[in-house]
C-alpha cells in the first residue's frame, strides 16, 4: 500500500460525514449566543468602561469552541489528537475581575454544547445564566465604600473633621493614624448616604485641615 492509499483511506474518508448545513447552523447559533453573552457582560459590568478586547474574546471563544467540538465529535481519531494538541497550550491572560472567569467558562460551555448539537440546551442555559447575572447585578450596594485621607495640623482639627464625618456619613472607621512633626495623617474607611460627597468640602473648610482626599474602592485594596 502506497502513501497515497494510506492518506486517501485514513483522511479523505474520515470527513465523508461532514455536513455544511449543520456547520452553518452551529456557527450561527454560536454567534448569537456569543453576542448574548457579550450583552450580559456589558449590562453587568461593575465599572464605567468595559474591555472591547475581552468582549470580542467572548464571541470568538464561542465560535472556536463550537468548531473544535464539531470536529472532535465527527472523528474519534481526531478527538484523541485534539486532546494531545490542546494539552500543550498555555494561556496567560490577566483577569481583571473574578466575574470575568464566569463569562469565559460560559462562552466555552456554550460552544461545547452547540458543537455537540444541543442548541436548545445552549439557548435555555444561556438565558437562565443571563437572568441570574442580571438580577444579581441589579442588587449591588449603592452606598459604595470610600477611603478618606486627611492631613491635619493639630488634634483640634482632627476632632472637628471626625465630628463632620459622624454627622454626614452612614458610618466610618479609622484605619490608620500617623503623627509626625508635620502634623497628623488620618485614613478612614466610610460609607456615604446616597453617594453624597459634600461633606468633603466642609471638612476642607475646617481650620487646620490642609488636605482632603476621597477615593472610591471595592473593599479589596485594604484589609
**Mean per-residue pLDDT for 195-218?**
85
Please tell me whether residue 18 adopts helix, strand or coil conformation: coil
**Mean per-residue pLDDT for 178-183?**
87
- Which pLDDT value is given to residue 31? 93
- Which pLDDT value is given to residue 28? 92
Which part of the chain has CATH 3.30.70.260?
145-216
* pLDDT tens track for 105-157: 999 899 989 988 889 999 999 999 999 988 887 665 556 788 999 999 888 88
| Superfamily of segment(s) 145-216 | ACT domain (3.30.70.260)
**Mean per-residue pLDDT for 44-67?**
79
What nine digits make up the cell of 3? 502513501
**Mean per-residue pLDDT for 53-78?**
79
**Mean per-residue pLDDT for 191-198?**
79
Please tell me whether residue 180 adopts helix, strand or coil conformation: strand
- Which pLDDT value is given to residue 190? 87
Mean pLDDT for all residues in the chain: 79
Amino acid at each position: 500500500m502506497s502513501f497515497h492509499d494510506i492518506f486517501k483511506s485514513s483522511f479523505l474518508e474520515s470527513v465523508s460525514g461532514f455536513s455544511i448545513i449543520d456547520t452553518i447552523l452551529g456557527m450561527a447559533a454560536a454567534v448569537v449566543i456569543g453576542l448574548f453573552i457579550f450583552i450580559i457582560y456589558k449590562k453587568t459590568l461593575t465599572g464605567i468602561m468595559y474591555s472591547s478586547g475581552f468582549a470580542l474574546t467572548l464571541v470568538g471563544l464561542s465560535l472556536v469552541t463550537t468548531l473544535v467540538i464539531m470536529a472532535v465529535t465527527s472523528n474519534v481519531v481526531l478527538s484523541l489528537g485534539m486532546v494531545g494538541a490542546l494539552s500543550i497550550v498555555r494561556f496567560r491572560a490577566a483577569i481583571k475581575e473574578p466575574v470575568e472567569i464566569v463569562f469565559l467558562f460560559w462562552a466555552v460551555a456554550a460552544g461545547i454544547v452547540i458543537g455537540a448539537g444541543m442548541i436548545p440546551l445552549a439557548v435555555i442555559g444561556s438565558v437562565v445564566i443571563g437572568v441570574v447575572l442580571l438580577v444579581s447585578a441589579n442588587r449591588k450596594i449603592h452606598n459604595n465604600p470610600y477611603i478618606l485621607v486627611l492631613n491635619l495640623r493639630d488634634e483640634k482639627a482632627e476632632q472637628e473633621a471626625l465630628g463632620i464625618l459622624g454627622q454626614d456619613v452612614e458610618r466610618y472607621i479609622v484605619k490608620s493614624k500617623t503623627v509626625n512633626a508635620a502634623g497628623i495623617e488620618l485614613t478612614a474607611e466610610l460609607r456615604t448616604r446616597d453617594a453624597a460627597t459634600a461633606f468633603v468640602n466642609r471638612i476642607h473648610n475646617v481650620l487646620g485641615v490642609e488636605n482632603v482626599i476621597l477615593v472610591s474602592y471595592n473593599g479589596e485594596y485594604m484589609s
